[in-house]
Amino acid sequence: MIYAIVISALLSSTAAIELSEKNWDAETAGKSVFIKFYAPWCGHCKKLKPDWDKLMDEINGGPGSLVADVDCTGEGQSLCQKHGVGGYPTLKYGDPGDLQDYQGGRDFNSLKKFAEENLGPTCGPANLDLCSDEVKKKIEGYMAMSPDRLEGKIRNAIRIVEEEVPFMKKVSAHMKKAKSEL
């Protein structure tokens, strides 16, 4: 009886990873990703699900790649907004901080071929050997900082982008306009 339960559990298991704001950083760190942003009620999403689940089973587990789901109606709603999802399903891939739209086929063979050719380790703290010398030096500098100092630098960079860059853009536009009037 226990043997049957274990076999049943193994056969029905899926390497499905559901991403949310809470686990995004931990799950995607140092990986190239292939993400399906979906809504559970969507007919196209339901049609894609078996092939996507099979892809997750076959691809996940490797060190540098991740195939995952984001439920845009649940805990992943903020991620869908952040990544500009406008319809379902939306497939995106690449570096977690700079996702690109996937435009290929939606059948299993097309998805698998794409994943095998495009996913893998990326430059980062866990893969410094994949970084250019310039980027490697920056990462090593950040890694030498205390967590508190690094968090402070992040907060400052965000503040500059959110508060200072809009003013910089206005000044730049003003300067260009003044120059063209000469």
| Cβ(29)–Cβ(64) below 8 Å | no
Question: Per residue in 25-53, pLDDT tens?
Answer: 999 988 899 999 999 999 999 999 999 99
DSSP 149-180: HHHHHHHHHHHIIIIIHHHHHHHHHHHHHHHH
Q: 31 Cβ partners below 8 Å, 6+ apart?
A: 64, 65, 66, 96, 119, 121, 122
| 87: exposed, middle or buried (Cβ count in 10 Å: 0-12, 13-18, 19+) | exposed
User: What average pLDDT is seen over the chain?
Assistant: 87
Residue 62 pLDDT grade (very low, low, confident, very high; cuts 50, 70, 90): confident
pLDDT at 48: 96
Q: 91 Cβ partners below 8 Å, 6+ apart?
A: 34, 35, 36, 37, 101, 102, 106
Alpha-carbon distance 126 to 122, whole Å? Answer: 9
Question: Per residue in 115-151, pLDDT tens?
Answer: 988 888 777 887 888 888 998 999 999 999 999 999 9
Handedness of CA 10, 12, 15, 18 (dihedral sign): negative
Reported pTM: 0.67
Residue 7 pLDDT grade (very low, low, confident, very high; cuts 50, 70, 90): very low
pLDDT at 10: 37
